[in-house]
Chain A
Amino acid sequence: DAGITQSPRHKVTETGTPVTLRCHQTENHRYMYWYRQDPGHGLRLIHYSYGVKDTDKGEVSDGYSVSRSKTEDFLLTLESATSSQTSVYFCAIRPGTSGTYEQYFGPGTRLTVT
Chain B
Amino acid sequence: AQTVTQSQPEMSVQEAETVTLSCTYDTSESDYYLFWYKQPPSRQMILVIRQEAYKQQNATENRFSVNFQKAAKSFSLKISDSQLGDAAMYFCAYRTPMDSNYQLIWGAGTKLIIKP
Contact = CB atoms under 8 A, between A and B. Distances in A.
Given A41-B108, A48-B102, A56-B101, A102 B45 contact: no
A31 interface: yes
A32 to B, nearest CB: 10
Interface string B16-58: 0000000000000000010100000011111100101000000
B94 to A, nearest CB: 10
B103 A45 contact: yes
Interface string B76-116: 00000000000000010001010001111011110000000
Q: Name the interface size band of chain B.
A: 20 to 34
A33 B106 CA distance: 14
Nearest to B97: A101
Nearest to A45: B103
Contact of B109 (A42, A59, A101, A107): A42
Contacts of B4: 42
Contacts of B107: 42
The secondary structure that dominates the B interface is loop
Given A108-B43, A108-B44, A102 B35 contact: yes
Most chain B CB neighbours (cut-off 10 Å) among A40, A59, A90, A103: A103
A48 B43 contact: no
A42 B43 contact: no
Interface in A87-114: 88, 90, 92, 94, 100-105, 107-108, 110
A18 interface: no
Contacts of B97: 101
Q: Which 8 A-B pairs have the closest CB atoms?
A: A42-B106, A105-B45, A45-B103, A101-B95, A43-B106, A108-B43, A42-B108, A100-B33
Given A42-B107, A110-B43, 17 more contacts: A40-B108, A41-B108, A42-B4, A42-B106, A43-B91, A44-B106, A48-B101, A56-B101, A58-B101, A88-B43, A100-B50, A100-B52, A102-B50, A105-B46, A107-B43, A108-B44, A108-B45
